Structure 1
Amino acid sequence: MSIYCPSCKSTHVITRDLGRKVGGTTGVVAGTVTGTAGALGGAKAGAIIGSIGGPVGASIGSIAGAIWGGLVGGTAGGIAGAKLGEELDSKVLINYECKHCGHRFRI
């Protein structure tokens, strides 16, 4: 389906995706913070699992557990934020812009 500018009828229309970008970025930051806070549990679990390898294994296991918690939280938050942003783009924000005349519009 081609999208036409309602002002000049040009087909040079792009999506701005501002909601998706902001939502995704906000979700990554919030998810990483939450994941890092929850990483304390991951660090403890990693230390317990790593303790099989002695003190070095416990240290490496706790660091890996903390990093894993931050990565998982950031990824989950980013995906959730991007999905919410897509909904905002399609239903609330003026998401389309004509590159020919600069008119912004929503479908």
Structure 2
Amino acid sequence: MSESFAMPPSAGIKHSIVLCPQCGSPQIQLKQTGKKLGGAIGTFAGMLGALSSASKGATVGAVVALRTLHPANPLNSITAAVLGALAGGAVGCTTGATLGQLIDETVLNNYLCLHCGHTFSNS
């Protein structure tokens, strides 16, 4: 009975073969330069932004703690800063990679022919 519900491996999947416009070879590789660079820049910017915000928050927290005379645990603010930096880096990486992929698809020559070395875009 499970055979009636089984789908062939290629069902619903559309494959498009990209050929090199110079030599006609199907041996093509995606370079994804924009996606990689955007992800790296986004991660760095996200982490810097989160750490900057965390340092401002830690300063305000220290001032409030001194005024109320409750000792503040420095490990709490360090932990919050590290977790905030990781979260900011993750969000920045995702945003940067998405933007980089858009740039790859529209602006850059994102395809590399492994046969002749020609780079080209598919648009």
TM over 0.5: yes
| Larger helix share, 1 or 2 | 1
> 1:32, 1:74 within 8 Å by CA — same for their partners in 2?
yes
AA at the equivalent of 2:42? G
Runs of 5+ consecutive residues of structure 1 not aligned to the other structure: 49-53
Residue type at the aligned position of 1:17: Q
Closer, same or farther: CA 42–73 of 1 in aligned 2, 3 Å: farther
TM-score by length of 1: 0.83
Q: Does 1:3 align with 2:18?
A: yes
Report the counterpart of residue 100 of structure 2 in structure 1. 85
TM-score when normalising by structure 2:
0.73
Bigger mean CA offset, 34-43 vs 15-24: 34-43
In terms of Rg, which structure is larger?
Answer: 2
**Separation (CA, whole Å) in 2 of partners of 1:23 and 1:12:** 26
Alignment partner of 2:73: what SS?
helix
1:20 corresponds, among 25, 29, 35, to 35
Structure 2 match to 1:51:
none
Change (3 A) 1:14 1:42: farther
- Structure 1 residue corresponding to 2:77, chosen from 41, 56, 62: 62
Q: Tell me how far 1:42 sits from its aligned partner.
A: 6.7
Aligned length: 98
**2:48 aligned partner:** 33
